[in-house]
């Protein structure tokens, strides 16, 4: 099983990142997380995703291309 943690500002771009992962076979893993970044005055998001069907794992693989 492959694991990725998608992160970004709380914008539609983050939602598109998660949607793109789901469209390519990744599945949500747990609830999203949100935190306020006071230095940049923005909310940050994180969502874990997993994928079961994939090429054999290698440390140098590009997870977003799986």
Average pLDDT score over residue span 35-63: 90
Rg (CA), the chain: 13
Whether 51 has a pLDDT exceeding 80, the answer reads yes
What is the predicted pLDDT for the residue at 65? 75
Q: Which residue has the higher pLDDT, 65 or 37?
A: 37
Instruction: Name the pTM for this structure.
Output: 0.85
Model pLDDT for residues 12-43, shown as the tens digit of each residue = 999 999 999 999 999 999 999 999 999 999 99
CA 43 to each of CA 9, 20, 31, 33, 36: distance values in angstroms, whole numbers, following the listed order: 6, 21, 16, 10, 4
Whether 48 has a pLDDT exceeding 90, the answer reads yes
Nearest residue to 45 (alpha-carbon basis) of 2, 22, 21, 12: 12
């Amino acid at each position: 099983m492959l694991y990725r943690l998608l992160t970004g500002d709380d914008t539609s771009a983050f939602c598109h990142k998660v949607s793109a992962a789901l469209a390519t076979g990744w599945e949500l893993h747990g609830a999203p997380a949100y935190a306020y970044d006071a230095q940049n005055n923005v909310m940050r998001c994180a969502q874990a995703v997993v994928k079961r069907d994939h090429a054999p794992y290698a440390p140098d693989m590009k997870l977003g291309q799986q």
